[in-house]
Chain A
């Protein structure tokens, strides 16, 4: 009877433990100074002039995500180390200082008159670049054009 009781207790415990992580309070508003150093540096270097609307920390199951939204609607996403993952201007052009040179060259050559409004890191070291004419381009880790991102 004693073993039965302990077994039952163990099962109840296991279930509670199992269910709890799903209740992670994921989102928090934080201040700019609470961003990782690398992220802060990035922001001040390329977006220093912009007003900050809100800074968020999103605790996902194993990784943290930092988000910052500026007064003109531009959004940045950083991983937990502070390395940028997504720069989204939402219909505005993003600062040219964050667009790699080879990408800029390619865009100016093949899509003159358009601007880069979003750049995002994808799997396998690739980058997805969205232009103001809604075209999505894919570049590899050396910023060579590899195709369209549909």
Chain B
């Protein structure tokens, strides 16, 4: 889950719960206060009525606020004894002026006058306004709560985004980084300590990786280069031995097999060296070459070599395809591609070389009648069937050259043909 979503959810949950609890508490406290105020007012009013009555003075009809009222009734001794405590309760009373029942709060107690006569005094006040107020308060509390939550969340996300910009810059740099190639430098100015540390660590690590990579490459290159001489020397001496008359059949046979082996090693080494050189851009791309002509030249020479297979050739190269390339590389490309087309073909099979715009398709029938594994096909030393004399580097070399010449290459198996498609 994206970090921002995770933070957002956690924050929302936590603040929603806490603030809701607070709002609930606040609302309840307010209601309580409101009730207390009403009760205080009723208490005062009842005292006023009681004392005015006891003092023999006129009783104010309205009390402290409009629509207040009271009832004062004498009660019997039995009722007085059973009277109990002061009661306050919410009830409905009939309001004459409105001709309907309205909610009101009633405060009721029992007292005695100077002669000992017990009375029940009830004072009441309409609470419709209070109910309206309570509802309004509720809506306001909820409304403000929601607003607060939304604003808090927005601020949190804003702050998060600002603070974590360096992280995302770093991530995008990492994603586009390719070892062994030119990469844009890491520019991530930030005052946050953690990100500065990340920056430094990443730069150091990638530098070390690059150095290791370079070291390995030179090692391979050097080794390959060094091997050439001993290989040549060995082959030369074996060649001499092959021309020696004093050896018998068996001995000559041995020498021959040793020579074949050395020859294989030499070819392998040469290909590896070429791969290394291509990777290091040691073949300058400074010539304009027609790929179609190169293909045709290669085809004519290979046709003779593989003439015994009786393979049918279909060539359709209408217009030139010019490449900014290197002669050696183009020859290697054509030679490897077409030689594969012949070598893996079946007797009486077919090879099609067709161009459409800048797309060339080289298709061949084969002894192998199922699709090859495209994923592993171009990896070094991958061979679907082991063939003696095959280095397993042909397609890897083709891929390297294509990458260098900026040609896209794909493989597919279609209607019994193995097709290699180049997009120049």
Q: Which residues of A contact B (CB under 8 A)?
A: 4, 8, 11-12, 15, 18-19, 22-23, 26-29, 50-54, 56, 69-73, 75, 90-92
| Majority-rule SS of A interface residues | mixed
Instruction: Please give me the residue from chain A that is nearest to B27 by CB atom.
Output: A19
User: Are B36 and A22 touching (Cβ within 8 A)?
Assistant: yes
Q: Which residues of B contact A (CB under 8 A)?
A: 14, 17-18, 21-22, 24-25, 28-29, 32-33, 36, 39, 43, 47, 50-57, 85-86, 109-116
Instruction: Please give me the residue from chain A that is nearest to B119 by CB atom.
Output: A53
Q: Using a Cβ cutoff of 8 Å, how many contacts connect chains A and B?
A: 83
Q: How far is the CB of A74 from chain B (nearest CB, A)?
A: 8
Q: Which residues of A contact B116 (CB under 8 A)?
A: 51
User: Are B113 and A53 touching (Cβ within 8 A)?
Assistant: yes
Question: What separation, in Å, do the CA atoms of A97 and B113 have in the docked complex?
Answer: 23
Contact of B22 among A15, A26, A27, A53 (CB under 8 A): A15
Question: What separation, in Å, do the CA atoms of A92 and B52 have in the docked complex?
Answer: 11
Question: What separation, in Å, do the CA atoms of A29 and B86 have in the docked complex?
Answer: 7
User: Are A71 and B114 touching (Cβ within 8 A)?
Assistant: yes
Instruction: Please give me the residue from chain A that is nearest to B22 by CB atom.
Output: A15
Question: What separation, in Å, do the CA atoms of A13 and B374 have in the docked complex?
Answer: 67
Q: Which residues of B contact A4 (CB under 8 A)?
A: 14
User: Are A51 and B112 touching (Cβ within 8 A)?
Assistant: yes
Q: How far is the CB of B421 from chain A (nearest CB, A)?
A: 57
User: Are A51 and B115 touching (Cβ within 8 A)?
Assistant: yes
Question: What separation, in Å, do the CA atoms of A30 and B291 have in the docked complex?
Answer: 116
User: What are 20 contact pairs spanning A and B, CB under 8 A?
Assistant: A8-B17, A15-B21, A19-B29, A22-B36, A26-B39, A28-B86, A51-B112, A51-B116, A53-B54, A53-B112, A54-B111, A69-B111, A70-B54, A71-B113, A71-B114, A71-B115, A73-B57, A75-B47, A90-B51, A90-B55
User: Are A73 and B112 touching (Cβ within 8 A)?
Assistant: no
Q: Which residues of B contact A23 (CB under 8 A)?
A: 32
Instruction: Please give me the residue from chain A that is nearest to B17 by CB atom.
Output: A8
Question: What separation, in Å, do the CA atoms of A52 and B28 have in the docked complex?
Answer: 39
Q: Which residues of B contact A52 (CB under 8 A)?
A: 112
User: Are B36 and A53 touching (Cβ within 8 A)?
Assistant: no
User: Are A11 and B112 touching (Cβ within 8 A)?
Assistant: no
Q: How far is the CB of A130 from chain B (nearest CB, A)?
A: 15
User: Are B32 and A22 touching (Cβ within 8 A)?
Assistant: yes
Instruction: Please give me the residue from chain A that is nearest to B112 by CB atom.
Output: A53
Q: Which residues of B contact A92 (CB under 8 A)?
A: 55
Q: A12-B21, A19-B25, A90-B51 are in contact. Are A72 and B114 (CB under 8 A)?
A: yes
Question: What separation, in Å, do the CA atoms of A82 and B273 have in the docked complex?
Answer: 112
Q: Which residues of A contact B109 (CB under 8 A)?
A: 29, 54
Q: Which residues of A contact B29 (CB under 8 A)?
A: 18-19, 22
